[in-house]
Every structure is written in C-alpha cells, then in structure tokens.
Structure 1
Amino acid sequence: MIEDLYIEAVAYGGNGIGHYCGKVVFVPFVAPGDHVRCRIVQQKKRYSEATVEEIISSSTMRIKPACPVFGLCGGCQWQHLDYQEQCVWKERIFRDFVVRKLGADPGVVLPIMPSCHQWEYRSRVQFKCLNTPAGLQVGFYRRGSHFVVPVSHCPVIHPALNRARELFRAWIDKTPWAGQVPQIDLAVDDGGRVRAVVHCLSGDLDALSRHLKPLAEEADFALFVQSGRKENLLHVCGPMELIIEVDTPVLRLGYGPGGFAQINLSQNRAMVREVIATLISNPPGRVLDLFCGMGNFSLPVARLAQQVIGVESYRQSIEMARLNARLNNIDNALFFVGESFGAASLYAAEGAIDLVILDPPRSGAYDVARELAQVRPERILYVSCDPPTLSRDLQPLLHNGYRLVWSRPYDLFPHTHHIESITLLEKVPGEVRGVTKY
C-alpha cells in the first residue's frame, strides 16, 4: 500500500504517473495534481502499477465524468479530466514522442487540433452483447476483460447510434438468437443514415434476417448480418454504402460494410483540409496513396495532382474507391487491390513518385517505411493513429536522407488516450547510397 502518492503527469495509455521509492508508479483514472492512496497490483523491475484506494485531495483538473459506467467500461480513460487539459496532455505526450524518440526540434510539432465536438462524435461503434437471465445486455467490454458492461446511453457516440442500440437490443432480446449474437456494429454517415451489421454465431442467417428485415426497414436502417469473417456479409436491406463528405467543393465518398472511415467525421474533414493546404502551393505530380481505403485522401489530392495511385488490400474498399472516383468525376485516380509493402517499388518502376501518403492501421508500417527509404519519393505524408509506431516507422527515413518538416497531433478521440497525427517528411537534397539498418 502507498499511503500518499502525488500524481505528476499522465502517460500515453491514459494512466497517471507518480514516483515512490525512486520507482515510477502508473495509476489509472487519476489527474495530475491528485494526492491518492493506492495499492500496488503489479511490481516490475523499473515501474509499478497501482489502483486507487482513496483520493486524499483532488486536482483542480478533475471534473465529474459524464458517463455512469466510466471506469468500468474500457472505452474512455479521461472523462474525469477537463477537455482542455486532455488536449494539453495529448499535445505534450505527442511532442515527447517526436522530440525524444526522433531527436526532432520541438518547433516542428504544431499545436494540437482539438475536436469540434467532445461528445457525440463517434460515427462508428461496436457493441458487445451477452444474453443473461435478466435479458440481452448490450454495451462494451470491461477494461482489460471480455466481461460485458451494459450501457443505456453512451455520451461519446452519435445520438442515432444510441437510439439504434436500444432498438436492436429490444428486437433481439427474448428471441432464439439472443444467445447467438455476440456483437452489433453500428455506423452513421453525414446524412444521418444508419447501417447495422449483426454478427451471429449460428450458420443459418436466413431466419434472423427475416425477423430483423421489417423492423430495420421501418426504422430506415441499412442492415447486414454476418457469420464469421467479413467476407461472409449478407445484405438484408437498405443501401450498401454510407456517405461522408470531405474537401471543398464537397466530395461525397461512400464506404461499405467492412470498409474503413474515420470515426470522427468533422476531424477527418480537418485532416483532409490540412493535407490539401500543405500541397496546394506546390502541387504533386505522381502520388501513391498506401492503405488508401475508399479514397479519403486519394480523391481530394487528385484534384491537385497529375495522377494518384491508391493501393489497399481490402477488395471492397477498392471497389468503392473506383466508384467514388466515377461519381465525383475524377479521372486521374487509379485504384488497385494489393499489399502496401512492395507497392512503392512496383509503381516507382513505372515512373518517379513525387508524394507518398500512408495511413496504416495502429500496427504501423515499418516495412513500408524501409522500402520508401530506398524508393525515395520527394515527400511523404504519414497519417498515424499511434505515436509509438509512428516514431518507430520514421526512424529509418530520418536516418536515410529525409527531414521532418512538421507534425501535428489531432484529437479524434476525446476522453480517450488515443492521438491521431499527420507528419510531413521531405527528401534532403543530395544522393544517399543504400539504406542504414535501424
């Protein structure tokens, strides 16, 4: 037991940081300035992990969480922190990654872009389901477990998705499928249209589809059911795609079930604006967009570039990107199904690449970064959702003839520890031979 621990800061991952007997102590759900009494739950060689037993005195940064299950649900880590303070700490944490891990000048880290909306910003959500004697429970996993915490209202998701959650709970509760539905995926687009994917463990989806179809049609929902992998989606009713809007004049981009769109649509528009503002004074020639999805960055950039080539491994996303290009009258964007690793070498063999955009998943793209150090495009725009993998992936580029021009964190996920970012690299003039191992 630690009787008196002062919380000095917060770390990436959401935990507070204190020091006890010369060792760092990580504590969840505390605020900088808190004095707490806590219990050690994990002893490591260089640090300890603890849980709060009592808050002796509260930080001035601490506020009352908006959600009654905050601390139980694993979704949010920082609802007890004032939103402005959340942004201050996210910018500080991100700057530390860029400066400490990459040796960059602090001045290259631009101010964080806060979210326009700190509540009701999520346009996509995965609800976990558990059938119990008291009825079907629909909510989220408890932190660090697969125990379902039921929720009646989540303050960070779009109101249409809260309403849809309750409707699907009622539609499935007390039916033969109540114990067969582990998850319901809900999404809403810029026009307010709702799409649902109901996951079912049973191989027979027809009866479930017949049960849900008239209910979904009456509610004006697009509905899909799925058993196993996303390639097994069954379209039940409603439009295939949701529509998001980006750029000026507006591009309307569709994405299908199983495809990807950012969960914070207004912040996604802000990131697209930043990319366009970066390129408009020096328009790119040939552009390669890796992990391109349905064309979120490819198609706005195509308005400036001579040619854009988009590469994505999920075939349905490429089909949507091609359709989006046609519907928006963009004829200089080509889209191909393929792995991102190897694409730069393949397309560079057909002609010089001026700009590479990459927006990888949380695991990053280290192999792609090493390949880019050999292909050597003039500019690289890296869109990241994970500062640790970003700093790892940039190292082989910065050690092989590239310089970091600027990097800006974006808050797409208020009340969580997650940090999105955009980073611009430029090739340093002069020949670089080989690639330094790193």
Structure 2
Amino acid sequence: MVCKENSLAYNVGDQLEIQIKKIVPNGLGMGFAEKLTVFVPLAVRGDTVAVEIRQITGRTAFASILKVLEPAPTRTDAVCEYFGSCGGCDFQQMEYDEQLAAKAGIIEDCLKRIGHIKLEEGIEVLASKERTGYRLRTQFHIDGREHAVGFFRRQSHEVIDIERCPVLTDDMNRSLSEIRTELDRYADSVEVTHIEAAAVSDRRSFYAETLFEPVDELITEAAGERFAFNARSFFQANIAMLDSLVDTVVAGESGKRAVDFYCGAGLFSVPLARRFETVIGIESNSDSVGFAKRNRELAGLENLELFEGRVREYFKRSDIQPADLVLVDPPRNGVKKNVLGKIAGLCRERFVYVSCNPSTLARDIAILLTKGFEIETIRGLDLFPQTHHVETVVKLRRVT
C-alpha cells in the first residue's frame, strides 16, 4: 500500500486504503485520502477498502477495489454470478434498504449541489415490489465471432456471454435463450450487434437492423388500463412498478386541460384523459405515437389528441391554449432551457416533472423555480433495483 503522508504526488497505479463515506451520483462510493477525493464503483457506504487508482485529475481520482478490508454492515452477497464483470447492475453488493437510502441521497445531492435547492425534509424512495425478475425489456448484445450473447463488460464493449439475468422476468430470460439458439446467424458478424427485446406473458418482441422478422405487439396492464408496445418503442421496464408510477404521477390531478410532453406510448396520457376534459400528448418518435394511438383506441378515449413532432414544432401551432396541468417525462438529457421556458409558460396551475436522471432533473427544477413555481412534493421510485438508477417525480404548483 502506498503511503502519501510525505508526498502528494499521486499517480495511476497507486494503492490506497480509504473508507467510503457516501454514495454519489452514478453510484460511485466516495472516500478521501490526504488532499485527494477518491470515487470507487461497487462500494458500500461504510466499507473500508484497498483501492488502486485508475485515473487521476488534479485532486480527484477514480479507483477500483482491490480488496474489501472491512465490509460495511449493509454489504451483502450479489445475487448474480456475473456481478462485477457485467456492466448492468452496480448495487447488488448492498442490502436493499441501503440501495434505497443511496438513491435518496443521490437525488438530494443533485438537488442541493446542482439545483441549489434547499430541502425541508428528506426524500423517500418507494421500494420496488420486486427486487429481481422485474424487467420486461432490455437491449441484448451479440458478438457472433465469440458466440456470445448478453451484456457489455463494465467499461468496455466486450460482450459477456450471459446464461440468465436475475433482474429480467422469466419471459425475458426465455427470450435470451431464444436469441442464443439463433446465434449461428451472427457467426460471421464483423461487429457487435444489439437487439432490443421485450416480453410479456409468453409473447416476445425483438428488433434489430439485422433482423427481418416482424416486431410483435405486446400488451400489458397498468393502473386499470391496457397498453400496447413493442421492442422498438419506449415503455417503462419495471412491470411490477407501473401501477405505482402512474398513481404517483396522476393521483389527485383533474381539470379541463392537460398537456403531456414526451408522452411516449401514452402511459400517463391515457389515465390523464380519464381525469381531464382534454389531454394533448406530444411525442417525436413515430413508433411511440403509433402505440399511443393504439392505446387511445384500447381505452375508448375521444378526448386525447396526439401530436407527432418535436416540442419546438408543437409551439409553432396557432391553436395552443394554456393548460391546468403540464407533464414532462423527457429523455435523460432533460429539457433545453429555452424549450422548458415555453413549456412553463403554458402551465396555469400544476407542473409534474418525471425524470430518470437526478442531475438534469435538478438543473431543470431550478429553472422552473425561477418561472413562478414552487415544489409541492418530491418522490423517488425504485424502478431499477440492483442499479444506481432511480425515477423521480416532482410536483410543482404555480404561485406567480
């Protein structure tokens, strides 16, 4: 172990002993050496670990664990044989309550550090009803040269051959087996191929540019509604938390007009149309819009209007009217500042922001607070057990 009491010239390859003080955004453990902040993946708050520096910039280093010298009380055994090598899960080493606490801490850290938002109380993260076997969709990677199908190795594009993934549903693991039986067709592939896959109740849907089979429609239920989607369109992955997510977003909401930006296949637009006289859903992805129309039909709704196009294009319309409720569920990179300003200007009363990225969420909520809104509630939902990812729903109301 390298001792640095008399020298501050840290280098890549140096070995240190540190204690993990907290888990920070991207799921990294944070610890300290003399005048050095060290970030470590696959750690647990309270661990004492021997680490090796892999990257260093100024007084910040990224390191990997060589040995857990003293495990935290909340460290546990991973449920997957590929954990640590596979790039998918990074929280399996934590007891589940500790995962939830870490995710709450990540949300709070982003809101305070990025958004400069003062929180009156701690944030609750709603536990997933299933901690494994919850994921109904994923992206598999195939390397025909190595006859491998599975996921990328951590921090690489090497495909790890996976027999079974514990976070996937049984239907999805059967999909993995089906792809494996077809692996010979990729034996001459020069590059790695990826396949979007989804499965519900023994029905499968696959999509890849190298496949010519039809992409089957799948149907699942959420919040008393039926929703169609397929592997090519976006849909929330945690089948066990769909009801909780929809309820968190739409409960208590009603009025004359609601607008749902980035509406996808209509997971929120459909239940909102049961509560509002008119709902408009805006989505740029044509596959998702197609399924939103299909889901409107399944629900028998006539008060849900769908606009296919970018948000900027929607604001070029001449018939835009203010809305009682505005909902946004944007991609991970959030909403561009000028677009968010236009969306905020459309909202008369209530604003709901749904996000899978606490960093861009904090940035955008800070902007909304300058547009005459105040925060009513913040709630996390664990849609991604065994990983550092977390969904957050922030409800705001207009005060000026």
Q: Is TM (by shorter chain) over 0.5?
A: yes
Q: Report what 1:356 is aligned to.
A: 326
Report deviation, 1:162.
1.4
Instruction: Provide Cα deviations, 1:4-40, integer angstroms capped at 9, x if missing partner.
Output: 2111111111111101112210011121121111111
Alignment partners' CA distance in 2, 1:37 and 1:140: 28
Which aligned pairs between 1:143-182 and structure 2 lie closer than 5 A?
Answer: 143-173=154-184, 182=193
Please tell me whether the aligned partners of residues 206 and 216 of structure 2 are also in contact (alpha carbons under 8 angstroms): no
Which residue among 191, 201, 204 is the counterpart of 1:194?
Answer: 204
Which residue among 62, 67, 70 is the counterpart of 1:49?
Answer: 62
Alignment partners' CA distance in 2, 1:77 and 1:120: 16
Do the aligned partners of residues 344 and 68 (structure 1) sit closer, same or farther apart at CA in structure 2, a change above 3 Å counting? Answer: same
Instruction: Provide Cα deviations, 1:78-116, integer angstroms capped at 9, x if missing partner.
Output: 111111110011112212222443344423654111111
Report deviation, 1:342.
4.8
166-175 or 253-262: which moved more?
Answer: 166-175
Do the aligned partners of residues 288 and 415 (structure 1) sit closer, same or farther apart at CA in structure 2, a change above 3 Å counting? Answer: same
Which residue among 398, 401, 407 is the counterpart of 2:378?
Answer: 407
Q: Report what 1:214 is aligned to.
A: none
Please tell me whether the aligned partners of residues 379 and 426 of structure 1 are also in contact (alpha carbons under 8 angstroms): yes
Do the aligned partners of residues 380 and 36 (structure 1) sit closer, same or farther apart at CA in structure 2, a change above 3 Å counting? Answer: same
Alignment partners' CA distance in 2, 1:409 and 1:342: 31
Q: Report what 2:4 is aligned to.
A: none
Alignment partners' CA distance in 2, 1:38 and 1:284: 56
Q: AA paired with 1:384? A: S
Alignment partners' CA distance in 2, 1:178 and 1:166: 19
Instruction: Provide Cα deviations, 1:218-266, integer angstroms capped at 9, x if missing partner.
Output: xxxxxxx2xxxxxxxx4x35x731112122xx21011134211000022
Count the aligned residue pairs: 386
Which residue among 217, 221, 231 is the counterpart of 1:241?
Answer: 217
Q: Does 1:269 align with 2:243?
A: yes
Please tell me whether the aligned partners of residues 85 and 154 of structure 2 are also in contact (alpha carbons under 8 angstroms): yes
Structure 1 counterpart SS, 2:385: coil
Alignment partners' CA distance in 2, 1:345 and 1:378: 23
Please tell me whether the aligned partners of residues 10 and 16 of structure 1 are also in contact (alpha carbons under 8 angstroms): yes
Please tell me whether the aligned partners of residues 181 and 199 of structure 1 are also in contact (alpha carbons under 8 angstroms): no
Q: Does 1:428 align with 2:394?
A: no
Q: Report what 1:116 is aligned to.
A: 129
Do the aligned partners of residues 351 and 33 (structure 1) sit closer, same or farther apart at CA in structure 2, a change above 3 Å counting? Answer: closer
Q: AA paired with 2:206? A: A
Q: Report what 1:370 is aligned to.
A: 341
Which aligned pairs between 1:50-129 and structure 2 lie closer than 5 A?
Answer: 50-107=63-120, 110-129=123-142
Percent of residue pairs identical: 32
Alignment partners' CA distance in 2, 1:318 and 1:400: 30
Alignment partners' CA distance in 2, 1:333 and 1:63: 47
Q: Report what 1:397 is aligned to.
A: 368
Task: Give structure 1 stretches of 5+ with no counterpart.
Answer: 201-224, 226-233, 430-438
Alignment partners' CA distance in 1, 2:122 and 2:317: 33
Please tell me whether the aligned partners of residues 115 and 412 of structure 1 are also in contact (alpha carbons under 8 angstroms): yes
Instruction: Provide the aligned C-alpha RMSD in A.
Output: 2.1
Do the aligned partners of residues 131 and 176 (structure 1) sit closer, same or farther apart at CA in structure 2, a change above 3 Å counting? Answer: closer
Q: AA paired with 1:240? A: D
Q: AA paired with 2:48? A: H
Q: AA paired with 1:193? A: R
Do the aligned partners of residues 375 and 159 (structure 1) sit closer, same or farther apart at CA in structure 2, a change above 3 Å counting? Answer: same
Q: Report what 2:149 is aligned to.
A: 138
Do the aligned partners of residues 131 and 256 (structure 1) sit closer, same or farther apart at CA in structure 2, a change above 3 Å counting? Answer: closer
Instruction: Provide Cα deviations, 1:313-346, integer angstroms capped at 9, x if missing partner.
Output: 1122212212221221111001110102353574
Which residue among 4, 10, 22 is the counterpart of 1:9?
Answer: 22
Which residue among 224, 231, 252 is the counterpart of 2:226?
Answer: 252
Q: AA paired with 1:23? A: L
Q: TM-score, normalised by structure 2?
A: 0.90
Alignment partners' CA distance in 2, 1:344 and 1:377: 16
Task: Give structure 2 stretches of 5+ with no counterpart.
Answer: 1-13
Q: Does 1:333 align with 2:301?
A: no
Alignment partners' CA distance in 2, 1:344 and 1:376: 13
Q: Report what 1:219 is aligned to.
A: none
Q: AA paired with 1:331? A: E
Please tell me whether the aligned partners of residues 175 and 199 of structure 2 are also in contact (alpha carbons under 8 angstroms): no
